[in-house]
Chain A
Amino acid sequence: DVKVTQSSRYLVKRTGEKVFLECVQDMDHENMFWYRQDPGLGLRLIYFSYDVKMKEKGDIPEGYSVSREKKERFSLILESASTNQTSMYLCASTQGTGYEQYFGPGTRLTVT
């Protein structure tokens, strides 16, 4: 079974802090994604990566950056957390564009 893990289920940070969200997948997938999910807005793509060292902006990249130094690990970085970044963050991976995405359990981030 594909396993996608995220570093924390729940996280509380203060405004202005730098926040790291880690995602690891164990199936040698090329493609990895970061989404945020908010009530009434659905899943929105923040960043994605098709290969190591490679990153592409999604629909809402502002205020975020990413890092993919190893194939299995994709990190989401909030350089200076703000209250409007309070959300559920979901990581996903897939072996290719013709295949389904597998999601991690999510990190519920609260910025106070």
Chain B
Amino acid sequence: GQNIDQPTEMTATEGAIVQINCTYQTSGFNGLFWYQQHAGEAPTFLSYNVLDGLEEKGRFSSFLSRSKGYSYLLLKELQMKDSASYLCAVRDWVQGGKLIFGQGTELSVKP
């Protein structure tokens, strides 16, 4: 079966660093995506990992370990506008390449 777990809520302070973890179990892993979703808006793409290691994109980085079924999204120099829900999604080739989404982590950035 498939299962994706991420924390429901996190709180961090403006200017700080926060790490949002995602663990997954899938039949045929074929890539992991992170999306950001502000309240009332559509999800927007942040990052994609298919090989082990760290992908850096400005203030955001994403890490993947396929052997551990684990990924994290790292947000540096937090800003108030980073308050949003962060969705981890895994592509499963056994499921025809569909994306399977976690429930999302609601991040609140405080001043």
Contact = CB atoms under 8 A, between A and B. Distances in A.
A103 B42 contact: yes
Interface of A: 4, 35, 40-45, 48, 56, 58, 90, 97-98, 100-106
B42 A101 contact: no
The dominant DSSP class at the B interface is strand
Nearest to B30: A97
Q: For chain B, which range describes its interface: under 10, 10 to 19, 20 to 34, or 35 or more residues?
A: 20 to 34
A105 B42 contact: yes
Contact of B91 (A41, A43, A97, A102): A97
Contact of B43 (A40, A97, A98, A103): A103
B101 A43 contact: yes
Interface stretch (B56-64, B73-81, B92-100): B92-100
A23 to B, nearest CB: 12
* Most chain A CB atoms below 10 A, which of B33, B42, B87, B96: B42
A35 B43 CA distance: 12
A100 B42 contact: no
27 contacts: A35-B101, A41-B103, A42-B87, A42-B102, A42-B103, A43-B87, A43-B89, A43-B101, A44-B101, A45-B99, A48-B98, A56-B96, A58-B98, A90-B42, A90-B43, A97-B30, A97-B91, A97-B93, A97-B97, A98-B31, A101-B33, A102-B45, A103-B42, A104-B42, A105-B41, A105-B42, A106-B41
Given A104-B42, A105-B42, A45 B104 contact: no
Given A42-B103, A43-B87, A97-B97, 5 more contacts: A43-B43, A43-B101, A103-B43, A103-B44, A105-B41
